Amino acid sequence: MAIDFPRIPLGQWIEGGLDWLTSEYSVVTRGISRVTQTGIDGLNDALMWLPEWGLMAILAAICWRVANLRLAIGAVAGLAVIWNLGLWNPMIETLTLVVIATLVAVTIAIPVGITAALSERLYRGIMPVLDFMQTMPAFVYLIPAIPFFGIGSVSAIFATVIFSMPPAIRFTTLGIRQVPVELIEAADAYGATRRQKLLKVQLPMSLPTVMAGINQTIMLALSMVVIAAMIGADGLGSEVWRAIQRLRPGDGFEAGIAVVILAMLLDRLTQSLRKQRKS
């Protein structure tokens, strides 16, 4: 005998919950929205205010300082290509979103990661959440972002933070957990408090791993910021989006290549930061 189970109204529950959140906490979301928007505008204006060659020079100098001359030359060449293609302003907009989203994500992720590393219970609770955050198709985050923060960059940041945070948390937790037990024992034997252990042993020793996590977060943030063009985020993503709508593969690839250049630049830069720490 077949029993006809009613369909579970999962979607309705989620919507109901989101609606409730939106109406109950509109003050909060509006506040977040305003602050974030101010941050985005400020950073964007600052980067835009610099002449193209000025920003190129600054980035090249940073590359030279933390990595080598080769990366500096590569950075200048890559940015010159973007400038030449007329994608400078969208690139700056994308960079702004990535920087802000990464800052927010890392600010949340590192304390959470540390706590999860030190508390077995939180660790067990948080791992499925991280799996959920990472495997849920990225687009899905865009939908609730709109009722929370409206169409535009703030929603993009919200979705990006959620999508890009997990690796920073995971790597922080991993980094702290893989500090050899003998060293923890040594610190204990000399009477170190939990705080001293964390600051003098666990954090410094996990720094390379944490940096690897931040690198991953930046890469994920970049990919998400591009997708976020669908909910009205400015930048290279919206160039791609426009090219799709008008069926202009050439424009699409040009914007896509600009994303790749930006990605490579950010990746090499953070990686060499990590290696520098290690040696």
Partner 1 sequence: MNENRNVKIRVRNLSKVFGSHPKKALELRNQGLKRPEIFEKTGQTLGLSHIDFDVYEGELLVIMGLSGSGKSTLIRCLNRLIEPTEGEIVIDGEDIPQLDTRALLECRRRHFSMVFQNFALFPHRTVQQNAEFGLEIRGVPAEERGKTARHALKQVGLEGWEDAYPNQLSGGMQQRVGLARALANDASVLLMDEAFSALDPLIRGDMQQELLELQNRMQKTTVFITHDLDEALTIGDRIILLKDGEIVQIGTPEEILTRPADDYVRRFIEGVDKSRILTAEHAMRPLRATAREGEGPRTVLRRMREHNLDSIYVTGHDRRLLGLLEVDAAQKAAQQAQDTIREAMTQDFRRVTPEEPMHNLFAMFSAKGFPIAVVDDDQRLLGVVVKGAVLDELAQAAEAAPMADADNDTAAAGEQ
Please name the residue ranges forming H helices in the chain. Answer: 10-24, 26-49, 52-66, 69-84, 88-118, 120-135, 138-149, 153-177, 181-189, 194-197, 203-227, 236-245, 249-278
DSSP labels for 237-263?
HHHHHHHHHTT-HHHHHHHHHHHHHHH
Select the residue interacting with partner 1 from 68, 178, 193, 276 (CB under 8 A).
193
What six digits make up the tokens of 184? 């923890």
Q: Binding of partner 1 at residue 49 (CB under 8 A)? A: no
Query: Backbone dihedral region of 2: left (phi > 0), alpha (psi from -120 to 50 degrees) or beta?
Result: beta
Q: Binding of partner 1 at residue 273 (CB under 8 A)? A: no
Cβ at position 118, least distance to partner 1 in Å: 15
What six digits make up the tokens of 60? 């090249």
Residues from 95 through 154 that contact partner 1 (CB under 8 A): none
Task: Establish how many alpha carbons lie within 13 A of residue 238's alpha carbon, considering only the half-sphere containing its beta carbon.
Answer: 17
Question: Within 10 Å of residue 230's Cβ, how many Cβ atoms?
Answer: 16
Cβ distance 239 to 250 under 8 Å?
Answer: no
**Among 117-125, 138-146, 179-187, 214-222, the segment contacting partner 1 (CB under 8 A):** 179-187
* Binding residues for partner 1, total number by CB under 8 A: 18
Nearest to partner 1 of 70, 200 (CB atom): 200
How big is the chain, counted in residues? 279
> Which of 56, 59, 77 has its CA nearest to residue 67?
59
Q: Binding of partner 1 at residue 182 (CB under 8 A)? A: yes
Nearest to partner 1 of 34, 277 (CB atom): 277
Cβ at position 201, least distance to partner 1 in Å: 6
**Among 35-43, 124-132, 184-192, 230-238, the segment contacting partner 1 (CB under 8 A):** 184-192
Q: Binding of partner 1 at residue 185 (CB under 8 A)? A: yes
Nearest to partner 1 of 68, 193 (CB atom): 193
Cβ distance 177 to 124 under 8 Å?
Answer: no
Nearest to partner 1 of 12, 193 (CB atom): 193
Per-residue buried b or exposed e for 145-160, using 16+ beta carbons within 10 Å of the residue's own CB: bbbbbbebbbbbbbbb
Q: What angle do CA 94, 32, 110 make, to 5 degrees?
A: 70
Q: Binding of partner 1 at residue 200 (CB under 8 A)? A: yes
Select the residue interacting with partner 1 from 18, 43, 118, 192 (CB under 8 A).
192
Q: Binding of partner 1 at residue 204 (CB under 8 A)? A: yes
**Among 2-10, 46-54, 134-142, 182-190, the segment contacting partner 1 (CB under 8 A):** 182-190
Select the residue interacting with partner 1 from 43, 118, 134, 188 (CB under 8 A).
188
Q: Binding of partner 1 at residue 205 (CB under 8 A)? A: yes
Nearest to partner 1 of 76, 207 (CB atom): 207
Q: Binding of partner 1 at residue 176 (CB under 8 A)? A: no
User: Which spans of this chain sit near partner 1 (rule: CB under 8 A)?
Assistant: 180, 182-183, 185-193, 196, 200-201, 204-205, 207
